[in-house]
Structure 1
Amino acid sequence: MSFISILLIGLAMSTDAFAAAIGKGAAMRKPRFVDALRAGLIFGAVEAITPLIGWLLGRAASSYVESFDHWIAFGLLGILGVHMIIAGLRPEPEEPAEAAAHSERHGRFWSLATTGLATSIDAMAIGVGLAFLDVHIGVVAAVIGLCTLVMVTLGIMLGRALGALAGKRAEIIGGVILVIVGATILYEHLSGAA
């Protein structure tokens, strides 16, 4: 497999994460570049690990993972999206600024990690497919992870601009984007199977 092919796979695998990152960036309160980079690292690490897992699973049982990966991605993104929409509709609780910042940082990590996992399910399926080709899975995983790191960092910063324009509605918009990404993943897989 040529490096161009591997790079195209990396870019294709990072598009879902990019769309989700725009939603996340819109929902974050004034994310700085450091926050965007941290999100990119989380998404990139998850996106690099999942093709390795898929490759290992592909060696064991390829049809098992491919038959339901889109439902997992749809479910995780849908749940996260609905949660963000509900959070955007709720009035903000009155809590001390320090406690709110700690709670937001802790929740943000797990939210980012879960979103990263949901958007990387397709990378796991790619790993399954690559298990049957003559390709160095470590190189492919590294390229997918690096592409995702860059795309998510950019997505968060673009989402920040959207969030500054939309205010509190940004979290609702971010939730809607996650639901749309999940539905798109499900649609692509179901229409491809038909």
Structure 2
Amino acid sequence: MLEASVHWGQLITIGLMAVALGMDALSLGVGIGMRGIRLLHVLRISLLIGIFHMLMPLLGIFAGHYISSLLGQVTGYAAGGLLVVLGVHMIINSYRKGTTTMIDYHAWAGMILFSFSVSIDSFSVGVSLGMFKSELLLTVLIFGIFGALMSMMGLLLGRRVSDKLGSYGEAIGGTILLAFGIMFIL
């Protein structure tokens, strides 16, 4: 059972943010999956992305708590602005053509680098969440689970479908973060 301090609205917000962050992993996973990937690599990459989707927001949350103590009442605007910038960045990146990855995702170093690059936006969201009161363990677990599951879905889906879904997934994720950023500002 959830603690009394976790409200359903907060849980839904964290879940939607996790989905938005997972869209990046899903869309990039589709691209990699279309190049052909073994199921063992799907599992490894998905687990690494899940781990990084927990580590990066955790680091961001700690940074956000620190920034919150410095900024005081401006915290909501700063957190919202950060989410708006991240959302716009994801939307713009989703429409860029010809982006290819030079990462060898078959090697451990490549998988770690790919997982880190997919999860870097989780740090920014973690900073925003760190400026507010949020359930740390619950937030990090939800981000990790969604990141792992959505990357796995993307990798497996990429083995089966065309590349049209990839850019739309990242654009949808960016739109969700943009909306939350505006909501925090207002």
TM-score computed with the length of structure 2 as normaliser: 0.71
**Per-residue deviation, 1:162:** 1.6
Greater mean deviation of Cα atoms: 53-62 or 182-191: 182-191
How many residues are treated as equivalent by the alignment? 173
Distance 2:46 2:149 in 1: 7
Equivalent residue for 2:3?
A: 2
Structure 1: 5+ residue runs without aligned partners? 93-98, 131-136
Q: Cα gap change, 1:105/1:175 in structure 2, threshold over 3 Å: closer, same or farther?
A: farther
Are 1:125 and 2:121 matched, yes or no? no
Deviations 1:2-49 (A, max 9, x none): 367189265454222222222122122324211110111112110222
Distance 1:66 1:100 in 2: 32
Pick the aligned partner of 2:61 from 45, 51, 56: 51
Q: Cα gap change, 1:142/1:67 in structure 2, threshold over 3 Å: closer, same or farther?
A: closer
Between the aligned residues of both structures, percent identity stands at 12
- Give matches, 1:36-115, under 5 Å: 36-62=46-72, 63=74, 65-78=78-91, 80-83=93-96, 85-87=97-99, 101=104, 109-115=112-118
Query: Which structure: greater helix fraction?
Result: 1
Distance 1:40 1:127 in 2: 20
Structure 2: 5+ residue runs without aligned partners? none
**Per-residue deviation, 1:59:** 0.9
**Per-residue deviation, 1:100:** 7.0
Pick the aligned partner of 1:14 from 18, 30, 53: 18
Give the aligned residue type for 2:26: I
Give the aligned residue type for 1:116: S
Q: Is the 8 A contact 2:23 2:169 kept in 1?
A: yes
**Per-residue deviation, 1:56:** 1.1
Query: Alpha carbon RMSD of aligned pairs, Å?
Result: 3.4
Q: Is the 8 A contact 1:77 1:181 kept in 2?
A: yes
> For 2:6, what is the secondary structure of its paired residue?
helix
> For 1:166, what is the secondary structure of its paired residue?
coil
Distance 2:45 2:168 in 1: 22
